[in-house]
């Protein structure tokens, strides 16, 4: 058993407190956790129990930070996971936070993939969209399902980009080949480009 000899509010973060055991620093805790477990100077407690309380505090802290992160812009599961590890949280805490966010549908990689494709399909082709989503940590199966949905068809986008590219350019074989390369660099499939340009 140990004795809590001092609890003081942190100078840099007024929502957290430093906890001392036998006059030695033990850990930092959210003030909410201090109140929740009725911790105060003179409390006699085991170190094991304090470690459990510290873990609970870390979970709440990490959940709060992750919620704030995704409130500004929707994120993938991998992006949130990476953010939490960079903040120094241990695997047990990261797993807890991700489970909660998925349970409450704050993280949904299927919805993210569909939304991302819908927002960017006018600028990029199937291959580029897939690459960008893979880099964000979305599972390949989820990406393929989103790209293969009946609503995903890019002939109009290809035609619009081709029209903008060819504006004020001569209709020559050389410019046409440059247009094909331009569209392929945007991630559009060669066969889809040829088919779409013929439809135009």
The pLDDT, as a whole number, for residue 153 is: 67
The pLDDT, as a whole number, for residue 68 is: 94
Q: Alpha carbon of 33 to those of 5, 19, 30, 42: distances in Å?
A: 17, 12, 5, 17
The pLDDT, as a whole number, for residue 151 is: 58
Enumerate helices (H) and strands (E) in the chain, giving the number of each. Answer: 10, 4
- Give the contacts of 12 (CB within 8 A, at least 6 positions apart): none
The pLDDT, as a whole number, for residue 51 is: 87
The pLDDT, as a whole number, for residue 121 is: 86
Given a cut of 70, the residues of the chain with pLDDT beneath it are: 150-153, 199-200
Q: Break the chain into its structural domains and give their ranges.
A: 2-103, 109-147, 155-199
Angle value at C-alpha 27, between 86 and 77, nearest 5 degrees = 25
The pLDDT, as a whole number, for residue 199 is: 61
The architecture in CATH of the region 2-103 reads: Orthogonal Bundle (1.10)
């Amino acid at each position: 058993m140990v004795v809590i000899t001092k609890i003081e509010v942190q100078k840099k973060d007024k929502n957290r407190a430093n906890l001392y055991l036998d006059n030695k620093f033990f850990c930092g805790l959210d003030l909410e956790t201090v109140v929740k477990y009725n911790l105060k100077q003179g409390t006699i407690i085991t170190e094991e129990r304090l470690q459990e309380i510290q873990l609970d505090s870390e979970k709440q802290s990490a959940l709060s930070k992750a919620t704030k992160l995704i409130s500004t812009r929707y994120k993938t599961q991998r992006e949130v996971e990476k953010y939490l590890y960079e903040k120094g949280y241990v695997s047990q805490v990261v797993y807890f936070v991700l489970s909660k966010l998925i349970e409450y549908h704050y993280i949904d990689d299927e919805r993210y993939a569909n939304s991302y494709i819908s927002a960017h399909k006018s600028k990029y082709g199937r291959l580029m969209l897939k690459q960008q989503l893979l880099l964000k940590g979305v599972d390949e199966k989820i990406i393929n399902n989103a790209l293969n949905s009946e609503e995903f068809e890019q002939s109009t986008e290809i035609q619009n980009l081709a029209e903008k590219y060819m504006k004020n350019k001569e209709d020559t074989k050389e410019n046409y080949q440059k247009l094909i390369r331009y569209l392929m660099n945007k991630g559009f499939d060669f066969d889809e480009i040829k088919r779409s340009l013929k439809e135009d």
